[in-house]
Chains A and B, each alone.
Chain A
């Protein structure tokens, strides 16, 4: 439903095109995140953008949102060539707004202030509070949202905050709304609220670009589906021309899409080691956002932790490793290799051969100002120091061995770690822990932001580690991943382990059912 205005300034055949993406490319150093991508986003329609992690979706979105310029090609918005890529131009001139995964709201300001920040009604320096509330109320009513405009945003749940971001974009009269995996952090009920808002917007003629890898949603919402893989556009259909299976096949592409699962690789393993002392035993462990967790992991076993993002699984991992001082004094015990482990801290965990690869690679994993060698070799420093001085030659050699062992692809060991692709950064993060010969390895989102090829390599390496007797505990929001790499899966919901299943017998649906509390759990959802 293009408005008459669009038709007026567009040239004939482009009348229905909101955004035309033309031969768009973007490279980061040697890494080509986006290569020669072209497609049209039709005005008034919802276009779904599919792709695995690392397929180039986020790069494309960042270009559209004006967060980074393309290296080649261009974007035509409503018939006009985009000349300057910055967020303000994209929003005010072309009406393109993005709802990012990390919401950028002002947590201490009210809903009304957040929606209208920068476009306050009335005097520019002294906006009228009363008129702001009225404006906000009108807008919220248009969008069928029931939210108190005076409430500080901090007091709202994540799902509502997301709807506020949408409202903020609409207040700025955006014509194209980009939603980047908006349901990743939402419960099904919350997702439904978002979908009904999207339906409202669509009736009002808003063009939407929807990014997700959840097929049911995509087929519910999209008019058109575009698929990216390895930075290229590999397929595009009208929704009724394609089945979910075909879409998945296009997304995954290469034969690596079907990883050989651990269940298929080994049958006898679990029973082999049943006699041994658990590598890690949690008894009634409690801390921030998790309570009374009982779990045992044997050497050579890979145990997955599934659950919604707010289920407390990440906090549980931090508590085991001692990464969060806020957990000190919590109830319950941790036993590592049969010995109680009480005063947990990262320093002590390293001594006890307990490794942890955190989920936020950039914030918690990478030593951002250091080289590949320094990142991989960081845990060898202590052993390779004598009289306070680091034996640099031995260090470089050891770091190179570790990197090679995990197939980190890098031109040189002394280039900055930030030059590597996400997959190779992640391999470096895993490789560094081999230096302490880990007995237990804790992984959070081990393949987040990693391309399919690197993913397969990481899985192989994890299997090899487990075969050498390392106990691995792995939390992931990627259910197919858990079903592929684990022996057992503990499902968490609202801070408790609600189910522990053998991976062989589990399905995505059965795990989601437990995780969302549909069956085993009777509490209320947030």
Chain B
């Protein structure tokens, strides 16, 4: 049997065919088409100031989508991120109002968000309740908690209070007066997400668990820890986004961020991740986030009502998944 030796060669680092086969290629092509459409429809679209404002607008969604990508590749879902966003913003806002130094207040908000994510994860992992149900419940629980601790009253940060000016600079400031700080923070968090997902052991285990949980368990991967980590990451990113939201508007109330989870999940799905887990990439998610941002921007500057924007976004999600399914089916037929 010596003639039939294994034809094994390591993955080459650069192979043009691989580049074409990348799962993000389809979404990326759609993104470019959308961009061209934007240019054709309105000349103001390509103004750097407009594009940077898109960056500003998608940053918070993007940050949350980084965490959500881990959850979704795990084959789970986190519907509570909109509530965690508000919980963290209220916590930070109340802390600042109470005179806590702003860095500590931020930390507090993010820690509370991480704990919320931990609770989600524990319920999924220890009780074995599907994450859809767990986070459907915690969506309500965290929202209620937010309303309770704020007593339903909105929080407005007064610029006369010491430290508030610095704090609001994070959300409102621009590097060199040009690049929105929020966009830079999104870029940094996305970079961490890329490294964690594609270079770290955590990423490897995430794909393994999402692709086949039972097989992953039987090769000694700590499935519970991997899932728990994903929910904590999702909580943390939602928390960071919440703090940024507060910083940007100097204002937060109990119902802030309602429905954000759907935009976040849409971005991840448009980016090519499958809801049943095991596939998806951080780059895909980033493209999905930018896609949603550009789409809304194009509809905006062309004066299309926000009601229509909601309708179009809905169609895009279904179309993206349909295109992916079609491509997959064609591949298996070969």
Q: Which residues of A contact B (CB under 8 A)?
A: 29, 321, 323, 346-347, 349-351, 356, 358, 363-371, 373-374, 378-379, 381-382, 385, 388-390, 392, 396-397, 400, 403-404, 406-414, 432, 453, 456-457, 460
1/0 per residue B174-211: CB within 8 Å of A? Answer: 00000000000000000000010001111111011011
Nearest residue (CB) in A for B220 is: A350
- Chain A nearest CB: distance from B92 CB in Å? 28
Contacts of B48 in A (CB 8 A): none
What is the bound-complex CA distance between A434 and B177, given in angstroms?
A: 58
Contact B207 A367 (CB under 8 A): yes
**Nearest Cβ distance between residue B24 and chain A, in whole angstroms?**
15
- Give a binary string over B206-231; 1 marks a CB under 8 Å from any A CB, 0 the rest: 01101110111111111000000000
A371: which B residues are within 8 A, CB to CB? 11
Determine whether the beta carbon of A404 is less than 8 Å from that of B220.
no
Among the listed B8, B200, B204, B220, which residue makes an inter-chain contact with A400, where contact means beta carbons less than 8 Å apart?
B8
Q: Which residue of B lies closest to A431 (CB)?
A: B6
Contacts of B1 in A (CB 8 A): 407, 453, 456-457, 460
Residues of A within 8 A of B279 (CB): 369
Given contacts A323-B218, A382-B201, A388-B202, contact A368 B212 (CB under 8 A): yes
Cβ-closest 5 pairs across A and B: A369-B278, A369-B211, A350-B220, A414-B11, A385-B201
Please name all residues of chain B whose beta carbon is closer than 8 Å to the beta carbon of A323 when the two chains form the complex.
217-218
Q: Are B200 and A390 in contact (CB under 8 A)?
A: yes
- Asked if B10 CB lies within 8 Å of chain A CBs, one says yes
| Interchain CB contact under 8 A, A367 and B211 | yes
Docked Cα-Cα span, A358 to B11, in Å, equals: 28
Q: Check B199–A389 contact: CB distance below 8 A.
A: yes
Interchain nearest-CB distance for A464 vs B (Å):
13
Within 8 Å of chain A (Cβ to Cβ): is B9? yes
Contact yes or no, B10 A407, CB < 8 A: no
Distance in angstroms between the alpha carbons of A500 and B176 in the assembled complex: 80
Q: Say whether B215 contacts A366, CB under 8 Å.
A: yes
Q: Give complex CA distance A146, B287 in Å.
A: 62
A390 and B207 alpha carbons, distance in the complex (Å)? 14
Q: Are B11 and A404 in contact (CB under 8 A)?
A: no
CA distance A367 to B220 in the complex (A): 13
Enumerate chain A residues within 8 angstroms of B204, measured Cβ to Cβ.
374, 378, 381, 390
**CB of B29 within 8 A of chain A?**
no
CA distance A392 to B200 in the complex (A): 9
CA distance A154 to B203 in the complex (A): 40
A367 to B204, CA, bound (A): 11
Task: Tell which of A365, A396, A403, A453 touches B215, judged by Cβ atoms closer than 8 Å.
Answer: A365
B interface residue numbers (CB < 8 A to A): 1, 4-11, 18, 195, 199-205, 207-208, 210-212, 214-222, 277-279, 334
Are A346 and B9 within 8 A (Cβ)?
Answer: no
Q: Decide if A409 touches B4 in the complex (CB within 8 Å).
A: yes
* Chain B hits for A358, CB < 8 A: 215, 218
Contacts of B214 on A, CB cut-off 8 Å? Answer: 363-364
Q: Nearest-CB distance from A31 to chain B (Å)?
A: 11
Nearest residue in A to B212 (C-beta to C-beta)? A368
Chain B residues near A365 (CB-CB < 8 A): 215, 218
Contact B215 A367 (CB under 8 A): yes
Q: Are B199 and A392 in contact (CB under 8 A)?
A: yes
* Smallest CB separation, B171 vs chain A (Å): 30
The smallest C-beta distance from A242 to any residue of chain B, in angstroms, reads 31
Chain B residues, Cβ within 8 Å of A379 = 219-220
Q: Do B7 and A410 have beta carbons less than 8 Å apart?
A: yes
Among B11, B216, B218, point to the contact of A396 (Cβ < 8 A). Answer: B11
In whole angstroms, how far apart are the Cα atoms of A346 and B214 in the complex?
11
Given contacts A365-B218, A373-B11, A390-B204, 18 further A-B contacts (CB under 8 A): A346-B218, A347-B220, A363-B214, A364-B215, A369-B212, A369-B278, A370-B208, A370-B211, A370-B278, A373-B10, A374-B204, A374-B207, A381-B201, A390-B203, A404-B6, A409-B4, A413-B8, A413-B10
Cβ of A408 and Cβ of B212 under 8 Å apart? no
Q: What is the CB-to-nearest-CB distance from A425 to chain B, in angstroms, rounded to a whole number?
A: 12
Give Cα distance in the complex from A314 to B195, angstroms.
40
Would A397 and B215 count as touching, CB distance under 8 A? no
Query: Does the CB pair A412–B11 fall under 8 Å?
Result: yes
Q: CA of A356 to CA of B218 in the docked complex: distance in angstroms?
A: 8
Q: How far is the CB of B76 from chain A (nearest CB, A)?
A: 15
- A sample of 19 inter-chain contacts (CB < 8 A) reads A346-B219, A347-B222, A364-B218, A367-B207, A367-B208, A370-B278, A374-B204, A378-B208, A381-B204, A389-B201, A390-B200, A400-B8, A404-B5, A404-B6, A407-B1, A409-B4, A411-B7, A413-B11, A460-B1
In-complex Cβ contact of A408 among B8, B215, B220, B278 (8 A):
B8
**Interface pair B201/A388, CB less than 8 Å apart:** yes
Contacts of B334 in A (CB 8 A): 29
Whether B9 contacts A412 by the Cβ 8 Å rule is yes
| Closest chain A residue to B209, Cβ basis | A367
CA distance A407 to B4 in the complex (A): 8
A381 to B199, CA, bound (A): 11
Question: CB distance A408 to B6 under 8 Å?
Answer: yes
Contact partners of B200 in chain A: CB under 8 A: 385, 388-390
Which single residue of chain B is at the shortest CB-CB distance from A404?
Answer: B6
Contact yes or no, B207 A346, CB < 8 A? no
Using known A-B contacts A403-B8, A413-B11, A432-B219, determine if residue A367 contacts B201 with beta carbons closer than 8 Å.
no
Q: If A356-B218, A432-B219 touch, does A413 touch B199 (CB 8 Å cutoff)?
A: no
Cβ distance B11 to chain A, nearest Cβ, rounded Å: 4
Which chain B residue shows the least CB distance to A402? B8
Chain A residues near B217: list those with CB within 8 A: 323, 346
- Complex Cα spacing A392 to B277, Å: 23
Q: Are B207 and A400 in contact (CB under 8 A)?
A: no
CA–CA, A369 to B206, complex, Å?
11
- CB of B208 within 8 A of CB of A389, answer no
Contact B220 A346 (CB under 8 A): yes
Residue of B nearest to A69 (CB): B333
Cβ contact within 8 Å between A397 and B220: no
Please state if A413 and B9 are interface contacts (CB–CB under 8 Å): yes
Contact status B8-A404, CB under 8 Å: yes
Q: How far is the CA of A370 from the CA of B1 in the complex (A)?
A: 28
**With a CB–CB cut-off of 8 A, which chain B residues contact A378?**
204, 208, 219, 221
If the complex has contacts A346-B217, A346-B218, A385-B201, are A410 and B207 also in contact, measured as CB distance less than 8 A? Answer: no
How far apart sit A369 and B199, CA to CA, in the bound complex (Å)? 17
How far is it, in angstroms, between the C-alpha of A412 and the C-alpha of B10 when the chains are bound?
7
- Chain B residues with Cβ below 8 Å from A406 are 6
B residues near A408, Cβ cutoff 8 Å: 6, 8
* Bound CA span A382–B9, Å: 23
The interface centre, meaning the residue of A364, A408, A453 with most chain B CB atoms within 10 A of its CB, is A364
User: Which of A370, A409, A410 neighbours the largest number of chain B CB atoms within 10 Å of its CB?
Assistant: A370
CB neighbours (8 Å) of A346 from chain B are 217-220
Shortest Cβ distance from B222 into A: residue: A347
Report the bound CA distance from A440 to B98 in whole Å: 62
Decide yes or no: A390 and B199 within 8 Å by CB, A369-B211, A369-B278 being known contacts: yes
Instruction: Name the distance in Å between B307's Cβ and chain A's nearest Cβ.
Output: 38
Minimum CB–CB distance from B333 to chain A (whole Å) comes to 8
Q: What B residues does A374 contact at CB under 8 A?
A: 204, 207-208
Q: Which residue of B lies closest to A384 (CB)?
A: B201
Structural contact, B215 and A407, CB atoms closer than 8 A: no
Q: A413–B11 Cα gap in the complex (Å)?
A: 6
B8 touches A368 (CB 8 A): no
Q: Cα distance A368–B195 when bound, in Å? A: 22
B218 vs chain A, min Cβ distance (A): 5
Q: Which residues of A contact B277 (CB under 8 A)?
A: 369
Distance between A322 CB and nearest chain B CB, rounded to angstroms: 10
Write the nearest CB–CB distance from A274 to chain B, whole angstroms: 32
Within the complex, what minimum Cβ distance (angstroms) separates B189 from chain A?
A: 17
- B219: nearest chain-A partner, CB-CB: A378
Question: A residues within 8 A CB of B215?
Answer: 358, 363-368
Q: Who on chain B is nearest to A392 by CB?
A: B199
